[in-house]
Amino acid sequence: MSLTIPAPALIQDELELLAELVPLAGRDIIELGCGNAALARALLARHPDTHVTGLEVDARQHAKNLAAPQAGLQFVAAGAQAIPFSERSFDLVLMLKSLHHVPLPLMAQALGEAARVLRPGGHLYVSEPVYAGPLNDVMRLFHDEGKVRAAAQAAVDSTLRTDLWDAETEHHFVMPVQFRDFADFEQRMMRTTFSDHAIDDALLARVQAAFAPHASPGGARFERPMHVRLLRRAA
């Protein structure tokens, strides 16, 4: 008799999953590679007694973050591989689609830094996109992340073989990603401030052709598969 494997759950807001896994109220949290800090801002709206520090290496995004201050939220220009805080400063470290952006030779160092700044019993939440699915098929035409995403998972596997961490749980799910049209996709995914994808007219046409079957009058909707791993800092 064959077994039916259930499809991964659809999660609209990753903050809901995070809140189920770890306490957030009154915590000192650091996000490594915070981008526009959307989740951090939403978290603080629910838990104003929490403090979040967002690290970002993209100078243009960092400037935008500084221009939009919020109570309980501070921004620092720094990379995950060199966190400018003393040891045992935080209760929770977040890496939301950011570990695979750390330079390959520095991924292990970044995870070591996360362990250093966590208090014993604190958590590291690593959320990484899976290298699969229709959105990935379009993305890899101009930005193939197969190697770096595999390296990110291997780095987590490797650090779990040390005495720094205990593995608590992992989750597979999908998140919806919506674009108004191809112009929206191009602006958000192909013209990012932190990467130059060397887009010429021929490549732009190839990507647009791959995107077109997913477009409709209501926009283009994708489901991005995700993999979350929660690690606890050993005492």
User: Using one digit for the tens of pLDDT, what is the confidence trace for 102-115?
Assistant: 999 999 999 999 99
Which is it for strands 9-10 and 28-32: parallel, antiparallel or unpaired? unpaired
CA distance to 19, 125, 180, 218, per residue, from 22 (Å):
6, 9, 34, 36
In a domain, 210, yes or no: no
In a domain, 218, yes or no: no
Q: Which residues contact 83 (CB under 8 A, 6 or more apart)?
A: 30, 32, 55, 113, 114, 116, 117
- If one counts the domains in the chain, the total is 1
Residues 122-140 have a mean pLDDT of 97
Distance of CA 49 to the CA centre of its chain: 24
Residue 198 CA to residue 109 CA, distance in Å, equals: 29
In a domain, 206, yes or no: no
In a domain, 77, yes or no: yes
In a domain, 112, yes or no: yes
Expressed as residue numbers, the domain containing 73 is 9-131+143-175+225-233
Least confident among 65-74, 93-102, 190-199, 220-229: 190-199
Q: What is the CATH number for 73?
A: 3.40.50.150
Q: What is the SS3 assignment for 168?
A: strand
Closest CA to 144 of 200, 209, 197: 197
Residue 83 CA to residue 86 CA, distance in Å, equals: 8
In a domain, 165, yes or no: yes
- Encode pLDDT of 187-200 as tens digits: 999 998 777 889 99
- Residue 21 has what pLDDT? 97
In a domain, 138, yes or no: no
